[in-house]
Structure 1
Amino acid sequence: MHPDDLKKILDALSAADVREFALKTGSFDLALKRGPQAVSAPLAAPQLPAPQAYAAPAPLAAAPLAQPQVPATPADVTPAASPAVSEAPASPSTEAPAPSAPASAGTPVKAPIVGTFYASSSPDAAPYVKVGDTVAAGQVLCIIEAMKLMNEIEAETGGVVRQILVKNAEPVEYGQTLFVIE
């Protein structure tokens, strides 16, 4: 780029109060950032010293700072995070045995997918099954909506529905017990 062209660009940017400007043509790249100083001062200073400043001090500054901080910080964070993670699943697993206890008296029907539980085919329709109903293997028990698809959940074994553990229109997770059939 010719120096006269550069001068014209700088004058136009100053007149328009432009703070940042970038120009790429072929093998020539120009990036200007205007701060509290004049536009020409940042052009000369950051272009040459910046690569040297980042190349030399970065490894020297990063190595001493990273080594003391990295072992101290993960050691402090990991034990704190591990009990919290361990405690959080402890509560659900405390709740899980409660439904499992009645499941020992019957066969649990678990959600094969994540989605929304529906007890009937439409809001106006009667539910597929109620507590106390006798069901046959292969009979539809409910619908789980996943990604706008309605998936019928069928009984794997025949028997009497002893418990319905999910309310209509509730979200369910994979493996969550929906029914207990005895």
Structure 2
Amino acid sequence: MSEPVDIDQLKTLVAGERKRRGLSLRAAAEQADVPFNTLARVEKGHLPDLANFRRIVEWLGLAPERFFQPAQVRAVDTPEVIAHHLARDPNLSDAAAEKIAGLVRELYTSLAVTNRPVKVHLRAASTFTPDASRILGELLGDIQDVLTDKHDRTRHDAANG
């Protein structure tokens, strides 16, 4: 289980701000209104108590929520959620629940709109020339157009078939 606070980010920012201001650990702790030992522990990667965390973040001039990691969101697969509930329905046998779940999966697959933009990170982006970037952009656009057309035809055929 991970820490609810991004302590690595906090320790890096505290050390960086202290150095930026040209402060010793003791002087920075005094400015932040926290005990010297607390600030020393934060710079070593330890999480302070809530009151000291608030003071340190205030000293940094940052919002506390910046350090909180978002709760892990589990991707929800709608047909599987439905299958889960069907399997626990006391009015259905296991075979009946699975049969209904199978129908839901089929319908969902054929009717769900799954057009989501794809994000790509190019590690070598800084080495691309403007022409190479333009050509790659056009190529990716062409690929997307072909895939979108194919997807639309498949949906049209399924609806009319």
- TM-score normalised by length of structure 2: 0.21
Q: Which has the larger radius of gyration?
A: 1
Normalized per residue, the structure richer in helix is: 2
Normalized per residue, the structure richer in strand is: 1
